[in-house]
Structure 1
Amino acid sequence: MRERTSGRTVGGFRNVFLQGPAVTLLLLWMLVPLGMTLWFSFQRYNLINPMISGFAGWDNYTYLLTDPALWTAMGNTLLLVGWVLAISVIGGTLLAVLFQQEFFGRGIARLLVIAPFFVMPTVGALVWKNMLMHPVNGVFAWLSGLLGLPVIDWFSSMPLASIIIIVAWQWMPFALLILLTAIQSLDDDQVEAARMDGAGPLAIFWFITLPHLKRAISVVIMIEMIFLLTIFAEIFVTTSGGPGLASTNLAYFIYIRALLDFDVGGASAGGVIAIILANIVAIFLIRTVAKNLET
């Protein structure tokens, strides 16, 4: 027993010794940037004027929380995340049901529908800006001219809606990929039994397919929401947060504070606020997904 115990102890120390460098590197990779952000959020640090320095206390947080621009950015962030989630989940669910059916060229159609997810956000935003939504040379303007409809300057008249369309186009294939994988595990005998009992396509979808996809939908919502809170490239390439603050989300607001206003202290305080909000959302989503996985 002593030899076995000592062997286990030596093995335990060996595992700690082998895992220690990786765990230490991971902790440093996460904690050092977080610690620096917390430190700068309590400092007066301006990149243009080095005379502005010293301990600021809660001044950076007080200024941000009383700044209407912050609440506008947070509202835009919630609208962006909410609408993209709704469009991508509903559209992904309907497309998953559609592509589960047998039809000619289904494999090629699946590949083309999933392809936008692998396009870089900057490239996708440039394509939408210059080739589709351009008020003079865009495809949408050409179609409006053919139909005799007024041309829409998307990024001036509907900037946030334009960003929502672009981001939803990028993330709907992700939802489709996850939900299509989940729907393929649906028992065909159950669906066939429902059809024999007289259930129509809508009843089968509502009472069999949709409950079966509940777990997958929860996972899609959790993953997408975490990434959608940090949308930046699409806004930077297309609207630059404008007109005014009409399409500025929280991530772009922090960018403005840091690299346009050169206020590192205020931007760090905004980053801390964003971290707190992201963690609140993540905890809520993890608990929701855990409940769905248990049922």
Structure 2
Amino acid sequence: MATTHTRSAARLMMAPSVIALFIWMLVPLALTLWFSTLRYTYYDPLTPFVGLENYTYFLTDPRFISAFQNTLLLVGGVLCITVVGGTLIALLLDQQFFGQSPVRLLVLAPFFVMPTVAALVWKNMMMNPVYGVIAQALAAIGLPPIDWLTNYPLLSIIIIVAWQWLPFATLIFLTSLQSLSEDQKEAAEMDGAKALSIFWYITLPHMKRAITVVILIQTIFLLSIYAEIFVTTGGGVSSSNLPFLIASVITLEGDVGTASAGGIVAVVLANIVSIFLVRLVGKNLEA
């Protein structure tokens, strides 16, 4: 049992790491807050204090509304595909079949591909309207090719990002399925329950915590998607999310003040989503 002395010693040993982490987070945040109150651009040496003017300009910018909507659609679309698809694939991989181990390894492989590489592969090899795999498949059945990145830019990005994150969801769900007792399924089968009823009333409730954790972790990362948009569509009203809009403001316009205000707005929105998801996770873990 830990004593008061050992607890104090543990806190003392942890203090340097905690202090360093706190400074690592606090200093950039404080500088961003300060820059967001200045008219600070690359093209003007003067940086007068303007208060909340940068926030007003950013929030009333029409690009903010479209970027915010695209962010929600991107996160929601990827979560729907990965949760539903990951559950189905995990159910298939949980069965006994020949070559089970190599198939599991191949299914998990996309998660280890760098985002930039994945975006380039999908842009040039899969979604290219001339020689892409999808265009060739459509041509084989007599259908015209689709210029995905031009006609459906946001949907294309959702597909690319979902392809990357589907293995992660599959791995978590497969681990959850393997911890499910077979006795419950056998008892339900002996009582005459069908496969769909067993999944709905036994398997899915058992996966509830795993699904919640996947949603939480993926949402945190999906709110900061950038590379896939930069490589494929290069931004634009139809595909830019909040991180890409903020990056565009500072790289293309050189407006550090407005970009800093946008960063603070993005942090606030991300924390609101995180608080909601953390509470959701806490309720499921207590259940």
Give the SS at the match of 2:41.
coil
Shift of the 200–14 alpha-carbon distance from structure 1 to 2, 3 Å rule, reads closer
**Which one-letter code corresponds to 1:170 in the other structure?**
Q
Give the SS at the match of 2:130.
coil
Residue 248 (str. 1) matches residue 251 (str. 2): no
**Which one-letter code corresponds to 2:245 in the other structure?**
F
Give, in angstroms, the shift of residue 218 of structure 1.
0.4
Q: Paired residue for 2:35?
A: 40
Q: Paired residue for 1:86?
A: 80
Which has the higher mean CA deviation after the structures are superposed, 15-24 or 58-67?
15-24
CA–CA distance in 2 between the matches of 1:29 and 1:57?
Answer: 25
Which has the higher mean CA deviation after the structures are superposed, 36-45 or 20-29?
20-29
CA–CA distance in 2 between the matches of 1:120 and 1:155?
Answer: 20
Q: Which residues of 2 match residues 121-200 of structure 1 at below 5 A? A: 121-200=115-194
The structure whose Rg is larger is: 1
Task: Give aligned pairs, total.
Answer: 285
Give, in angstroms, the shift of residue 81 of structure 1.
0.4
Question: Could you give the per-residue CA deviations for residues 39-72 of structure 1, whole angstroms, max 9, x where no partner exists?
Answer: 1111111012324x21010100011111111011
**Which one-letter code corresponds to 1:99 in the other structure?**
L
Equivalent of 2:70, from 67, 72, 76?
76
Question: Could you give the per-residue CA deviations for residues 222-246 of structure 1, whole angstroms, max 9, x where no partner exists?
Answer: 001111000001001100113xx10
**Cα RMSD over matched residues?**
1.3
Give the SS at the match of 1:104.
coil
Q: Paired residue for 1:271?
A: 263
Mark the runs of 5 or more structure 2 residues left unpaired by the alignment: none
Equivalent of 1:21, from 13, 16, 20?
16
CA–CA distance in 2 between the matches of 1:183 and 1:8?
Answer: 42
Mark the runs of 5 or more structure 1 residues left unpaired by the alignment: 1-6
Give the SS at the match of 2:88.
helix
**Which one-letter code corresponds to 1:229 in the other structure?**
L
Shift of the 112–41 alpha-carbon distance from structure 1 to 2, 3 Å rule, reads same
CA–CA distance in 1 between the matches of 2:4 and 2:248?
Answer: 55
Q: Which residues of 2 match residues 196-211 of structure 1 at below 5 A? A: 196-211=190-205
Residue 236 (str. 1) matches residue 242 (str. 2): no
CA–CA distance in 1 between the matches of 2:131 and 2:45?
Answer: 46
CA–CA distance in 2 between the matches of 1:14 and 1:291?
Answer: 33
Q: Paired residue for 1:227?
A: 221
Identity percentage over the alignment?
A: 60
**Which one-letter code corresponds to 1:86 in the other structure?**
C
CA–CA distance in 2 between the matches of 1:207 and 1:81?
Answer: 28
Q: Paired residue for 2:112?
A: 118
Q: Paired residue for 1:50?
A: 45
Give, in angstroms, the shift of residue 19 of structure 1.
2.5
Q: Paired residue for 1:4?
A: none
CA–CA distance in 1 between the matches of 2:207 and 2:4?
Answer: 44
Give the SS at the match of 2:66.
helix
